[in-house]
Each structure stands twice: as C-alpha cells, then as structure tokens.
Amino acid sequence: MTAANHNHYILAFDQASEADFPKMGGKCASLARMIAAGVAVPAGFAVLTDAYAEFLDISGLKPVLQGIIDSIEIGNVADEAMKAAAIREKICSTPLPSRIEASIRSAYVDMSPSDDLPVAVRSSATAEDLPDASFAGQQDTYLWVTGADDVVKQVRACWASLFNARAISYRAKNNLGQLEVLMSVAVQKMVNAKAAGVAMTLDPINGDRTKIVIDSAFGLGEPVVSGEITPDNFVVEKVMMQVTKRRIAEKDHELVADRALRRTVDRVIEPERRTLPSLSDGEVIAVAGLAKSLERKMGCPQDVEWAIDADLPDGANLVALQSRPETVWSQKKAQAPAKTYAMGIEGVLGTLMSPLSAKS
C-alpha cells in the first residue's frame, strides 16, 4: 500500500531518491534507504520539511518563536521548560495552511480509503540520526493514529516537539541552531507487534563488533527504546550467527494495540507469561540477520529498531522500523588517534596494561 506523491509537501518512501533525503530528515531518509535496499519496511510517506518551513513562514510564527527562543536562559531548567511549552502551544494552536493540510489528508486517504488505517506518526528532524549527533528520541512519535483528522493533528504535534526543553538545550550546546533545524514527519502503517525492540551491530558495553546485541519485549517496542522496562537481552556471535548469551527478564506489562479503542494501551502480562522469552531462538537469529544485513548495506555499525508483526505469517513477519548509525563507539574511535598522540607512548602503554582499561 503506497501513498502517491502530493506536490512538494508529500513523498512516498518507496518513491524517494538520494536527492530527496535532505528534505526527509534522518528517520524518513533511513526508511526510504532501507526500502530501496530491499528491506521489509511498513509502507508510508514523508511530510517533507518544505511543509514545516512554509507553515512557519505563512503563519507568521517565525519571528514570534525567535523572540521566545532569544529570551531562553540556556542551562536554567525551569526557564527552558517554560519557554519550550510556550513555543509548543503556539505551534499546536496555529492552523495549517489549507494546501498543506489538504496534501496530508489526501496522502493518508490514498493509504486508507476508509479513513481508519492505524498509522504511526513519527518525527524526523534534519539534525537527527547523524553519525556525529546523538539526536535520536528527542522528538515525539504517536502510535495507532487513525483518521485524517488525527493524522493532521499529530503531524503538527511532531513539529511542536522540536521545541521540547531537552532538544532546545541540546541544539544550543551543539550549535545546531533552533529554527534552522527543520522537521519532516513519517506517516507509516502501524505494526501490530507481538514482540519488538532494538538490535545493535556491536556490543554497546565495549564496542565489540563481532557481536550483535538484541533487546526485546512483548508488544510494541516503545517501552524498550525509552527504557521504561527491563527487556530480554540476547547476544549473537556475528560470524557464526549463534546465540552466545541470553538474559530473560520478568516482564509485567506490554504496550499493545486496542482495536476497539483505536489506540495503544499498557496491558498487564499474565503471570505465567512474564518469564517466557519474548523471542524464540529462531526469531533471535532472524533479528540478528536483519541487523547484520543493514550494517552491510549502510556501511557502518547500526542501531536498529524492529518488530515482529502478529498480522503477518511466520517467516515474513519481521520488519525494520528504523536503522541509524551507532554513535557512541564510532565517536570514540574517531577521537582515539588524537587522544593517543596527546598521551604519548608511555601513557598509552600504561593504559593498555591497566586492569581497568578493559572496563573503560
């Protein structure tokens, strides 16, 4: 199910080219890149940065927001939170230009003629998912959104989430600009996940690239990504593709879809299922295989969000929701030569011989 393109505001993921990526933001560009590489990704479209930029210009919001931004005392948590809330209220209460709203509605109706297809509405800022900017998770995602009215509403809410206090502070400290950072929004068919989580194509503890580390839980993956729950953890040896470690957590709740209520709900897991693994060994290897393939296609270690769709048949039910470059160890690797030079050979040898060096 593919959304058609609607003038310069909308672009279907499977119709995007490399030239389009700057207007799609990190998340949408990643989705388009994965689809082009043959990876199973839920269908959808991007509301391009042109829509957000034009919204600011036509509405007259830009000078208003700039005035509030200029008054923020960066580092003053209370002031950041108060001013950020004021900016978000301005964005959420300002109507969209009619042609932008009509384009979003038309693209959603192409996906859902009956106006009831559940979708995820996901922020995709131009400064996120970069190898040198740990920006992921700073803007909002809205799950199980149904109907064109709510899609339009949540697109605007995603734009507003550019201005939560944490994101404002992060951009200020990293000289990324405030109004200069633009926002695309992904509107994507919702996955009815029976299990979901993240996979990293290196060990996040020590940077070991021979390992794939998977965190998984029942239901949708948002509680795993946000750190709200303790997930199951699996370690897979990357060459032989064998599970070498597994730690099964006690999982007392899961985020699932309630079709009758047309939203997600936090559901208590029955006691007999709480200590069961959220993935079979075969599913662990399938997730590891997906992550390994994405690392090869993207050319660097990846941080992958994935889900197993309960509505799809076994063997065709694993989908990728996001793949971004891993940032922590890639940055350490880039900094290592300069650090080594500054320390001198004696300092380097002392560090290598230290019993603590393996833990640093």
- Which of the 8 DSSP states describes residue 9? G
Each residue's pLDDT tens digit, 168-179: 998 899 888 899
Helix (H) or strand (E) holding 300: none
Each residue's pLDDT tens digit, 20-78: 999 999 999 999 999 999 999 999 999 999 999 999 999 999 999 999 999 999 999 99
Alpha carbons 244 and 235: distance in angstroms, whole number: 6
CA angle 103, 127, 303 (to 5 degrees): 100
Each residue's pLDDT tens digit, 90-142: 999 999 999 999 999 999 999 999 999 999 999 998 865 444 444 445 688 99
Alpha carbons 137 and 101: distance in angstroms, whole number: 26
Alpha carbons 97 and 144: distance in angstroms, whole number: 25
Q: Which of 292, 301, 219, 225 is closest to 257 using CA atoms?
A: 219
pTM of the prediction?
0.84
Alpha carbons 199 and 290: distance in angstroms, whole number: 9
Q: Are 232 and 247 in contact (CB under 8 A)?
A: yes
Alpha carbons 27 and 21: distance in angstroms, whole number: 10
